[in-house]
Amino acid sequence: MSRPRSQAEYLARLVPPSVAGINRRSLLAGAAGTGALLGTGLLAGCGDDSGSGGSSKDVSLGSNQSDPKPKDVLAKVADGFKTSSGVQVAVNTVDHNTFQENINNYLQGKPDDVFTWFAGYRMRFFAQKGLASDISDVWGKISGYSDAFKKASTGDDGKQYFVPASYYPWAVFYRKSVWQQHGYQVPTTLDQFTALGAQMKKDGLTPIAFADKDGWPAMGTFDILNLRINGYQFHVDLMAGKEAWTSDKVKKVFDTWAGLLPLHQPDSLGRTWQEAAQSLQQKKSGMYLLGLFVGQQFSNDEQNDLDFFTFPEIDPSIGAKALDAPIDGYMMARKPKNEDNARKLMEYFGGKAAGDITVKSDPTTLVANTGADVSGYTALQKKAAELVGSATEIAQFLDRDTRPDFASTVMIPAIQQFIKNPKDIDGLTSSIENQKKSIFTD
């Protein structure tokens, strides 16, 4: 009887100790979750939010940046906004995963004026549902973005709904000192990559660090193999539900992955990406395919020892120029309490000043605004920016390029199933296809 309630409340309580206390908003979201879970969903609209400011002197920001470093960066950017405009930003930080899980109810209730979000399908989805404000006018005032970024910020109706703040490429990371010690060379083909892995095994290293306890990190491996084997356009079509998962193209991706699995760290389903990254940091693993944020697990002195290469070419006709580089940024709620300030804040987020603050404070991310002063970039960041700059196509990552209900309820269990049992690819792909057909109906 009280179970659904405790579950939803429990989700709200998942906020870890690092986020001091449970704020009222997450409890509200939890209450809204109760409504949804009980099947009404109506409670979302009933949540009365009386506290967070209605005065013209402030603006509220819902943030999923709950890790200490990004949280700190955001606080500095908010301070910068206060200095330049005199408007106080009330930042409501919610644990990253909780924020994502409650986003539907959050946006339909009384969201903050501005909130952190991602480019790609997830942004277009909420724009199309009318849960975000058109900010095309803000785009008229900001500069320093390439067309690719503007495209990534544009909804299905051609208007902009998103301001990119930062992005991070996915690549294969390694420690220079380890590679020098063993004399490894950067592989440029799949054969070289496998040979390198075999050599690492002989040298007593785990070739590829690997973790998928949280369900999403292995999606990166699927993405990059799919991009290398079938190309960017196929990735987009597959994610949009237009291609069949039972096709030979998809099977080849899983086949290739199955061939590489012995080089991966075993027992990945009980390991978080942080733990896998630590095996790289402790020089137990030779390389790790992950986003640039892998650097968060390295101390400041070790940052210079970290290097990467893009995943090698598999099919020469497709090459190795496409990659995952998800963009993080901000959106504006459909009816902000303080619309003027919210637009000002969006403009500030898209401006050079916010970029400069981010560059100074966080060495594990790249700033989307090309106008920002990137002289503070570490060698790693410069190289990462170059890599993304030279990419012909940029994907947003599996769970940002497709429907969230498909990504989380079908793909996560499916990929975990594959890692457990890499042999039954036919059964796996037909199961995915069946579920896809049921989900992609409207």
Partner 1 sequence: MSDLPLIQADRAVPPPAATTSTGGRRRRLRLLSRTDRVVITLMVLVPLLLVTAFVWLPALATVVLSGTDWDGIGPLNEIDFVGARNYSDVVNIYPPFVPAIQHNLLWLAVLFVVATPFGMFLAVLLDKELRGSRFYQTALYLPVVLSLALIGFVWQLLYSRDQGLINAVFGSNVDWYGDSSVNIWAVMIASSWRHVGYIMLLYLAGLKGVDPSLREAAAVDGASESRTFFRVVFPVMRPINIIVLVVTVIESLRAFDLVWVVNKGRNGLELISALVTQNVVGEASRIGFGSALATIMLVVSLVFITIYLATVMRENRE
Find the shortest distance in angstroms from Cβ 336 to partner 1.
Answer: 19
Structure tokens at 366: 């790249």
Question: Quick one: 79 or 157, whose CB is closer to partner 1?
Answer: 157
Of 262, 376, 413, 422, the residue at the interface with partner 1 (CB under 8 A) is 413
Q: What does DSSP say about strands 393-395 and 322-324: parallel, antiparallel, or unpaired?
A: parallel
DSSP E strand boundaries for 354-410: 366-367, 393-395
CA separation for the pair 170, 329 (Å, rounded): 17
**Angle formed at CA 364 by CA 415 and CA 290, multiple of 5 degrees:** 20
In whole angstroms, how close is the CB of 354 to partner 1 at the nearest point?
Answer: 26
The DSSP code sequence of 246-300 is TSHHHHHHHHHHHHHGGGBPS-GGG--HHHHHHHHHTTSEEEEEEEGGGGGGS-G
Site size toward partner 1, by CB under 8 A: 58
- Identify which range of 132-140, 175-183, 272-280, 308-316 contacts partner 1 by CB under 8 A: 272-280
Based on CB atoms, which residue is closest to partner 1, 231 or 286? 286
Rounded-to-integer distance, Cα 165 and Cα 369, Å:
7
Would you say 72 or 405 has its CB closer to partner 1? 405
Least Cα distance to 96 among 75, 121, 115, 124 occurs for 115
DSSP 133-185: ---HHHHHH-----HHHHHHTB-TTS-B--EEEEE--EEEEEEHHHHHHHT--
Comparing CB distances to partner 1, the nearer of 77 and 412 is: 412
420 contacts partner 1 (rule: CB under 8 A): yes
Alpha-carbon distance of 428 to 222, in angstroms, equals 14
* 3 contributes a contact to partner 1 by CB under 8 A: yes
Identify which of residues 68 and 266 has a Cβ nearer to partner 1 in the complex: 266
Q: How far apart are the first and last CA of the chain?
A: 33
Distance of CA 123 to the CA centre of its chain: 12
Q: Rule CB under 8 A: say whether 283 interacts with partner 1.
A: no
Closest by Cα among 227, 383, 393, 381 to 312: 227
- Considering only 53, 215, 371, 422, the residue that binds partner 1 (CB under 8 A) is 215
Binder of partner 1 out of 58, 95, 101, 307 (CB under 8 A): 101
- Does the protein bind partner 1 through residue 41 (CB under 8 A)? yes
Q: Which is nearer to partner 1, 6 or 233 (CB)?
A: 6
Instruction: Match 């404000």 to its residue by tokens.
Output: 133
Kindly tell me which residue out of 48, 147, 301, 442 binds partner 1, with binding defined by CB under 8 A: 442
The one among 49, 67, 134, 275 contacting partner 1 by CB under 8 A: 275
Q: Does 22 bind partner 1 (CB under 8 A)?
A: no
Show the binding pattern over residues 119-138: x = contacts partner 1 (CB under 8 A), - = does not: ---x------x-x-------
Return residues touching partner 1 (CB under 8 A). 1, 3-4, 6-8, 10-11, 13-14, 33, 36-42, 100-105, 108, 122, 129, 131, 213-215, 266-271, 275, 278-279, 404-405, 407-409, 412-414, 416-417, 420, 431, 434-435, 438-439, 441-442
